[in-house]
Every structure is written in structure tokens, then in C-alpha cells.
Amino acid sequence: MTDYVKEYQNKRNACGKPFTEFVEFIKQYNKESATVMDLGCGQWRDTLFIARKGHSVTAIDTAKTGISQMCGRCKKRRLEG
């Protein structure tokens, strides 16, 4: 089993870019301001992509390191974290 806390501590972008399927779905999604829940959000990859598109995202993960890193990125991008 992967220890994501250690993975996230060692690499800021451990899981890579947003999933292609999420990117394509959000690009084609017609609703302007949806409410989205990202379960197992990890460090941020899908959460921030969706938030930058104007949607409200609730992100949940058990790895506090990933959540902390994501909140830091939200502040840098002036997104509510």
C-alpha cells in the first residue's frame, strides 16, 4: 500500500496532472457554477483545475500533507482554501 503522506512530502506533484477524463468533462460541462466533491483529492491536481473553472469544490483526503499543500496552492492562486 502506498504511503501518500511520504509520497507527498518527497514530491510536490506526486500524482501528476489532472485526469484527462475530468479535464474533458469540465470543458464540456455547461453549468457555470457547480458544486463538486473531490474524494481522495490528494495534493490538488483535479481540485484546483475544477476550481479554476469557476466551480465550488469540497476536497477531502486522509493525507494531511496533501491537503496542506493544496491549501498553499489555493492561497497562491487566490482561491478560497
Q: In a 3-state reduction of DSSP, which class is residue 76?
A: helix
More confident residue, 12 or 49: 49
Confidence (pLDDT) at 35: 94
Query: Which residues are CB-neighbours of 17 under 8 A, at least 6 positions away?
Result: 45
- Rounded Cα distance, 46 and 44, in Å: 6
Instruction: State which amino acid sits at residue 28.
Output: Q
Give the residue extent of every domain in the chain. Answer: 1-8+33-81
Q: Is 80 exceeded by the pLDDT of residue 15?
A: no
Instruction: State which amino acid sits at residue 65.
Output: T
pLDDT band at 80 (very low <50, low <70, confident <90, very high): low
This model's pTM is above 0.85: no
